[in-house]
Structure 1
Amino acid sequence: MSAENSATGAGTGTAPDPGGAPAGLPPLHCLRLLEPGPPRLAALPTGTPVWLVSRHPDVRQVLTDPRLGRAPLYAPDAPPVTRAPNLLDDPTALLNIDGVEHQRLRRTVQRAFTPRAIARWRPWVASVVEGLLDELIDRGSPADIVAGYTRPLPIAVISRLMGLDLLDSKRLEHWSDHALATTAYSARAIRTAIDEFADFGAGVIAERRAAPGDDLVSSLLAAAADTPGITEKQLVTLVIGLVVAGHETTMTSLGNALVYLLGDGRDAWRQLASDEQSAAAATEQLLRAVPLGDADVMPGLLRRAIEDVEIGGVRIPAGSVVAAHVAAANTDASVFTGDLLTELFSPLAAPSYTFGAGPHHCLGAWLARMELELALHRLARRLPALRLAAPEEAVEWRRGLLTRSPQRLEVAW
């Protein structure tokens, strides 16, 4: 997932595992989004007032203006923005520090995620895609495409990148779901899972220090050794954060894209199979137009003003919490004049903010794009008759997390 996606409320009571999530929710591409307009006051689930910023240029200002930062959200006088533990809420983590300190920590890992670096991985990722498709087809129709494709693909890629080929995918799923939970688990269960995940990350770091390899963790440690001021806790949080971020956004986006493409967008399936350029254009539009989660869980990317700042003609007082409502900005009719049905294969009219913007722009954006392009194109090419095996209304959703995507998605061909 984009490392910017902020928890806005988490339950403290015990709740069912997301695997038992009910069907009947609307697909995310069908959500009625906030109408873009001037900044308006609302409230987070904690009761903290929040300024919702929804117009495309205003959201860009929130994400790039140095007067609006992540670190102030964790200042001693900051109001509460979450109601339970969350992996993204560590004040010392890359996501939550600003300025020179943020750039110093970010430089230790960003070289691995440049477009040129990601392009070198394309043939291998394509081979992973084809291998998963071979297995899916061999098992036969109907099938759960989440279990057979949308979940294992990004886990395999990030595991290879970080040298975690023996990582138990079920254990990773458990840690990730707890670390990004809002209401799915109790606060105690979340803390326990995050602590276990941190122990795992510390163990990986110890192994790489003893025996460095050709992987992201080893290069991260080498860069950190030449960068003063980076703590062991920051390294552990960075490692486990990369593991989660490296698969969550891709899994979520791919699952939600298939709900659209095999339903309302079925007419686009043949062109999606035609060439990778069409798949690349469709990927950008799907990332723009299909939110990663529900607005009541994730109203936007949070910042806090360190001084008075004017946004869209409205004065936001110092100390205010601001939410950049990415989903609204990504569908702002003054910027994006078409919908997915008409614009799926068109170039973006303006930048999408799904991966954020400015200093905290998601490090893994190019990797996620590449995985989605290949996954959609190769799937459409190999299975031109792919269809949903049940109505959209029967989709089982992962709930109680920062993101929402199919828990299961039965398909046939």
Structure 2
Amino acid sequence: MSADQSQTPAGGPLIPLHCLQQAEPGPPRLAVLPTGTPVWLVTRHADVRQALTDPRLNRASLYAPDAPAVSLIPNILDDPDSLLNVDGAEHQRVRRTVQRAFTPRAIARWRPWVESVVDGLLDELVESGSPADVIAGFSRPLPVAVISRLLGLDGLDLRRLGHWSDHALSTTAYTVEEIVTAMREFGEFGYQLVLERRKNPGDDLVSSLLAAADETGGVSEAQLTSLVCGLVVAGHETTMTTLGNALVYLLGDDPAARTAWDRVGRDEESAAQATEQVLRSIPLGDATDALPGMLRRAVAEVEIGGVTIPAGSVVAADTGAANHDPEIYPDLGGIDLFAPLDTPSLTFGAGPHHCLGAWLARMELESGLHHLARRLPALRLAEPVGAIEWRTGLMTRSPLTLRVAW
């Protein structure tokens, strides 16, 4: 876990992410990245969506020779071979090798198995007795088990996986040397996995990726390795983080949240509605440790929200602010977990780089919340919210531990 996970800011303890104030939506405005590079901050829903879909703003140019520095410490987002950092025809070619495995229809086939994993973890959690740590017993092992099964990684040392993931997403938790070493080890793991599945293909996602890559052509070994490592991290980190943060909100003292907990456990449709609102309302991280948004760079002059963005400029699309834009999502005095989302949130991005694993994350969250609430309707926090230890120094923030009772 992160090196500074127990630290709190000088002003006091960290607050839950659902309590954070998001940036006020408005026209694009200039700000400064920690590197000193100027950045155009985009906050309104329509403007953020444009920034993520307009081909005049891309990822690859962030790493061009003339690009200004956008990060002080390298992390997995800075891999030039990753799917995230290629655009246009090359991006489409690489993306086609994996997207067929993550369609809603493909995800639906995995639901019975995922629900069996959920039930097994709940059996172990209940058997361990109350109180218990729901992070160690449920929200961390659930997505790890799912991605390990999909990638055929049974027997993987989970401590190594956590070590690699924390370094891959580090902002301030580790030194540059520590991150470089961990990423070298992680890359070697991914490369050896690709080589092994080429020799001995099986019924797993890595083997399917290799078969699709051979069929479409033009995908390098470095890109395949990067893709596998990215799937390992993204396949568990987002779900673990969101599930832990959702439980902080749902099991707290808010009477509306407690009522919602009962409804989430009663039927799967309510769990699905709540999942969408959780994904929209509760960010993955905060500005203390994360970038101000999804970064892009203008390859040509572009107008966003009535403001002209010069070519070569860095743009930060603040999806958290966009997901709270009052013009799209009126604030009715709190999170209404069962309000329909007439406009999809931008939590998973938009456009060519929309998150491939979005439907898998949704399914895991829906299943996890529904079965946990149904099995343990009296579940509650066993410690004050102010006493929660957080994973910090990373691009995401979630409880390190979360003691619950029933």
Shorter chain as denominator, the TM-score bin is: over 0.9
Equivalent in 115, 128, 139 of residue 139 of structure 1: 128
Query: 1:294 — aligned with what?
Result: 286
Query: 2:299 — aligned with what?
Result: 306
How far residue 202 of structure 1 moved from its aligned partner, in angstroms, is 1.1
Query: 2:352 — aligned with what?
Result: 359
Q: Please give the TM-score of this superposition, normalised by the length of structure 2.
A: 0.96
- 1:381 aligned onto 2:360: no
Bigger mean CA deviation after superposition, 274-283 or 17-26: 17-26
Change in CA separation of 1:40 and 1:66 when aligned onto 2, cut-off 3 Å: same
Distance 1:127 1:341 in 2: 34
> For each residue in 1:77-104, what CA deviation from the matched residue of structure 2 results, as whole angstroms up to 9, or x when unmatched?
1000011121111112110000000000
Equivalent in 260, 276, 280 of residue 268 of structure 1: 260
How many pairs does the alignment contain? 399
> For each residue in 1:304-347, what CA deviation from the matched residue of structure 2 results, as whole angstroms up to 9, or x when unmatched?
00111000000000000001100000000111013584521121
How far residue 182 of structure 1 moved from its aligned partner, in angstroms, is 0.5
Aligned residues of 1:132 and 1:149 also touching (Cα < 8 A): yes
Once the two structures are superposed, the pairs formed by residues 86-105 of structure 1 within 5 Å of their partners are 86-105=75-94
Equivalent in 49, 61, 67 of residue 50 of structure 2: 61
Equivalent in 130, 154, 163 of residue 143 of structure 2: 154
Counterpart of 1:186, as a letter, is T
- 1:334 aligned onto 2:327: yes
Question: Helix, strand or coil for the counterpart of 1:117?
Answer: helix
Distance 1:341 1:270 in 2: 18
Query: 2:31 — aligned with what?
Result: 42
Question: Helix, strand or coil for the counterpart of 2:117?
Answer: helix
Query: 1:228 — aligned with what?
Result: 217
Change in CA separation of 1:384 and 1:362 when aligned onto 2, cut-off 3 Å: same
Query: 2:395 — aligned with what?
Result: 402
Distance 2:241 2:107 in 1: 20
Question: Helix, strand or coil for the counterpart of 1:254?
Answer: helix
Counterpart of 2:62, as a letter, is L
Q: Please give the TM-score of this superposition, normalised by the length of structure 1.
A: 0.95
Once the two structures are superposed, the pairs formed by residues 94-133 of structure 1 within 5 Å of their partners are 94-133=83-122
Aligned residues of 1:305 and 1:322 also touching (Cα < 8 A): yes
Structure 1 gap ranges (5+): 1-14
Counterpart of 1:88, as a letter, is L
How far residue 207 of structure 1 moved from its aligned partner, in angstroms, is 1.2
Aligned residues of 1:113 and 1:366 also touching (Cα < 8 A): yes
How far residue 21 of structure 1 moved from its aligned partner, in angstroms, is 4.4
Q: CA RMSD in A?
A: 1.3
Counterpart of 2:176, as a letter, is A
Question: Helix, strand or coil for the counterpart of 2:400?
Answer: strand
> For each residue in 1:187-211, what CA deviation from the matched residue of structure 2 results, as whole angstroms up to 9, or x when unmatched?
1000000000011111111111111
Aligned residues of 1:289 and 1:340 also touching (Cα < 8 A): no
Counterpart of 1:115, as a letter, is P
Counterpart of 1:285, as a letter, is Q
Bigger mean CA deviation after superposition, 18-27 or 32-41: 18-27
Counterpart of 1:175, as a letter, is W
How far residue 228 of structure 1 moved from its aligned partner, in angstroms, is 2.8
- 1:259 aligned onto 2:248: yes
Distance 2:121 2:400 in 1: 18
Equivalent in 269, 272, 279 of residue 280 of structure 1: 272
Question: Helix, strand or coil for the counterpart of 2:296?
Answer: strand
How far residue 165 of structure 1 moved from its aligned partner, in angstroms, is 1.0
Question: Helix, strand or coil for the counterpart of 2:377?
Answer: coil
Query: 1:4 — aligned with what?
Result: none
Question: Helix, strand or coil for the counterpart of 1:34?
Answer: coil
Distance 2:7 2:375 in 1: 30
Counterpart of 2:269, as a letter, is Q
Query: 2:159 — aligned with what?
Result: 170
> For each residue in 1:53-82, what CA deviation from the matched residue of structure 2 results, as whole angstroms up to 9, or x when unmatched?
000100110010000000110111100001
Aligned residues of 1:286 and 1:340 also touching (Cα < 8 A): no
Distance 1:388 1:341 in 2: 20
Runs of 4+ in 1 over 3 A off after TM superposition: 18-23, 338-342
> For each residue in 1:274-323, what CA deviation from the matched residue of structure 2 results, as whole angstroms up to 9, or x when unmatched?
10000000000000000000124221000000111000000000000001
Question: Helix, strand or coil for the counterpart of 2:361?
Answer: helix
Query: 2:336 — aligned with what?
Result: 343
Aligned residues of 1:299 and 1:323 also touching (Cα < 8 A): yes
